[in-house]
């Protein structure tokens, strides 16, 4: 059984000539305890799918199950097992973070003696303590987002749906939040579906992903396998003592091309790991002293851009 099992889900918006498919026969499977990435440019359908899984929208066709339970028809059975965090959340503006968390603990039927302990724990972990009594409307964008993250964890969900969860957070806080999600997955067995515009975030947290574009699945599977299939070369960047007579580089197995840019030699290769030893040997043989070396492996962002034809995320 998969923790999340989406089967051929289609969703339309609009009417008449303005009718369009936000999701077009989308399927994906997420194993229990896995952090799974859902990527795509604006309008790809990521948030629409999260809305369907959290029962805020109904699909026009298809099926979605969470923990083997129909996420569309059997929502009462899932209420205590799932939670969701959206970017740019809004709550009752006059409520304090503590009161917001108490309100949601009540909605999840968490006993009072347990809820206060959980609230205190989340406020401490997410460093909300100095603001726990402040009105939500007076908080910074980043602090509001931390309250939203705390809300999504109030019921210790088995499945957590995250839609741009670190938006608005400072870099150091975002890093801490990612570490928290990683810990929840590894130590608590929590299943997490993550949508994000931050390529590095997905690459850090996820081993598998589905890439959506215009409502359709473009690629899915292991992130490293997808990167290899797209065949974007690695880049070995070097500073040499001189750049004369570099034609010998063409004869080195694994070198797919090279260029000199801003005083650096850029070498393109399918695998920097396989090439580096032989490359350094040939450079030495040809009396080229390496003053600096940097290996730039293919990033998920480069893969993403190539797959969606250069559109921005």
Q: How many residues does the chain have?
A: 313
Q: How far apart are CA 26 and CA 49, in angstroms?
A: 9
- HSE-CB at 208 with a 13 A cutoff on CA atoms is 14
Q: How far apart are CA 111 and CA 19, in angstroms?
A: 46
Q: For the chain, which domains are there?
A: 4-225 (3.40.50.300), 233-297 (3.30.70)
Q: Which long-range contacts (CB under 8 A, 24 or more apart) does 10-16 make?
A: 10/59, 10/60, 10/61, 10/62, 11/45, 11/48, 11/52, 11/57, 11/59, 11/60, 11/215, 12/60
Parallel/antiparallel/unpaired status of strands 35-39 and 208-213 = parallel
Three state DSSP letters for 44-86: CCHHHHHHHHCCCCCCCEEEEEECCEECCCCHHHHCCCEEEEE
> What sign does the dihedral 82-119-151-198 (CA atoms) show?
negative
User: Could you tell me which residues come within 8 angstroms of residue 92 by beta carbon, excluding any fewer than 6 positions away?
Assistant: 99, 100, 103, 136
Q: How far apart are CA 281 and CA 300, in angstroms?
A: 30
DSSP letter at 158 equals S
pLDDT (tens digit, 0 to 9) for every residue of the chain, 313 residues total?
899 999 999 999 998 888 999 999 999 999 999 999 999 888 899 999 999 999 999 999 999 999 999 999 998 889 899 999 998 778 999 999 999 999 999 999 999 889 999 999 999 999 999 999 999 999 998 899 999 999 999 999 999 999 999 887 888 888 889 999 999 999 999 999 999 877 788 888 999 999 999 999 999 999 988 887 777 778 899 999 999 999 999 999 999 899 998 889 999 988 888 898 999 999 999 999 999 999 887 777 778 877 877 544 4
3-state helix, strand, coil in the chain (%, to 5): 40, 30, 35
Dihedral in degrees, nearest 10, Cα atoms 130, 167, 206, 4: 90
């Amino acid at each position: 059984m998969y923790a999340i099992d989406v089967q051929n889900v289609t969703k339309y918006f609009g009417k008449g000539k303005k009718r369009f498919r936000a999701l077009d026969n989308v399927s994906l499977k997420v194993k229990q305890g896995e952090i799974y990435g859902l990527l795509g440019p604006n309008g790809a359908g990521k948030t629409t799918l999260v809305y369907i899984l959290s029962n805020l929208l109904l699909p026009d066709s298809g099926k979605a199950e969470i923990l083997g339970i129909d996420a569309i028809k059997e929502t009462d059975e899932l209420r205590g097992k799932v939670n969701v965090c959206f970017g740019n959340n809004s709550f009752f503006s006059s409520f304090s973070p503590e009161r917001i968390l108490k309100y949601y603990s009540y909605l999840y039927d968490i006993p009072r003696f347990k809820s206060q302990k959980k609230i205190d724990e989340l406020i401490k972990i997410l460093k909300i303590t100095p603001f726990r009594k402040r009105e939500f409307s007076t908080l910074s964008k980043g602090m509001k987002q931390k309250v939203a993250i705390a809300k999504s964890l109030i019921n210790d969900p088995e499945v957590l749906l995250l839609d741009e969860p670190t938006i608005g957070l400072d870099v150091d806080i975002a890093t801490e939040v990612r570490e928290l999600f990683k810990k929840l997955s590894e130590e608590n067995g929590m299943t997490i579906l993550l949508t994000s515009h931050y390529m590095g975030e997905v690459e850090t947290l996820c081993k598998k992903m589905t890439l959506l574009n215009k409502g359709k699945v473009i690629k899915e599977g292991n992130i490293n396998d997808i990167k290899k299939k797209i065949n974007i070369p690695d880049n070995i960047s070097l500073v040499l003592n001189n750049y004369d007579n570099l034609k010998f580089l063409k004869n080195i197995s694994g070198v797919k091309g090279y260029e000199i840019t801003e005083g650096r030699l850029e070498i393109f290769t399918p695998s920097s790991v396989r090439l580096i030893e032989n490359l350094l040997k040939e450079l030495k043989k040809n009396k080229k002293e390496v003053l600096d070396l940097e290996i730039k492996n293919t990033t998920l962002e480069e893969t993403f851009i190539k797959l969606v034809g250069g559109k921005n995320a």
